Amino acid sequence: MRLLIVSTSTVFGKPYLSYLQEECIDFFAPGKNILFLPFARPGGISHDQYTAKAKAVFQQWGFNMRGAHEFDSASHGCDWADGFFVGGGNTFVLAESLRSSGYFERIDKDVRQGKPYMGTSAGCNMAGISICTTNDMPIAYPSSFDAFSWVPFNLNPHYLDPVDGIEHMGETRETRIKEFHEFNTQPVIGLREGSWIRVEENSVVLHGDSTARIFLPNQEAFESQILPESVL
């Protein structure tokens, strides 16, 4: 499989997707047809609005892009596509929409057969075993919390470290993931903004300026510049 599992589409101080330009061009190859899945609807924007935002960038890079909602069926959309980009937003809305539209099963099949997949934020969550380590509110009710299970771990995109001295009394990301491991056994990778994981067949490589935070059940979390065998 070929995957680009990205924590965020936008890093502070830079335009949408700009920091990923070289990686995306190398990953997809210009001239290809990229199907954009706008179902996560960040901030509640429409499918058309979200697609226009992504399309403007990808066209500038030399790709053809259409929104998944523009096709009359998942089969027709995926037949047109040479690769997939699933944008961020709300993971629960995304998961429900992928399943109800028929895109979940067809994308899973196509990616397992070699079509490249890029997912940012909510789209990043979908590459793992389940969506249960998302940061999002459950504003929609998907029929399953299962994700594509292309990699043998869960993701926590936009991972934030605890801030010393902060007066906020809510739980940290690390605490939430420890709670997850009271009921689940799969590893979780805390993927900081500006970081991504690229999968090429049997190669799984962490990219970006930050280390990843690795969470395993019944162990203390730790930092790593590479993805250890314990999560693969």
CATH homologous superfamily of 2-231 equals Class I glutamine amidotransferase (GATase) domain (3.40.50.880)
Pick the catalytic residue from 121, 130, 195, 210: 121
Q: Of 136, 181, 195, 210, which is the active-site residue?
A: 136
Q: How confident is the model at residue 230 (pLDDT cuts 50, 70, 90)?
A: confident
Cα 64 from Cα 55, distance rounded (Å): 8
| Closest by CA position to 51, among listed 70, 33, 32 | 70
Domain boundaries, the chain: 2-231
Cβ pair 26, 2 in contact under 8 A: no
Is position 136 annotated as part of the catalytic site?
Answer: yes
Q: Judge whether 18 counts as a catalytic residue.
A: no
Question: How far does CA 213 lie from the centroid of its chain?
Answer: 16
Determine what percent of the chain is predicted with pLDDT higher than 70: 98
Find the catalytic residue in 47, 82, 101, 158. Answer: 158
DSSP 36: E
What are the pLDDT digits (tens) for 56-77? 999 999 999 999 999 999 999 9
Residues 12-57 pLDDT 10s: 999 999 999 999 999 999 999 999 999 999 999 999 999 999 999 9
| Among 50, 47, 51, 117, residue whose Cα is nearest residue 82 | 117
pLDDT at 211 exceeding the cut of 90: yes
pLDDT at 107 over 80: yes
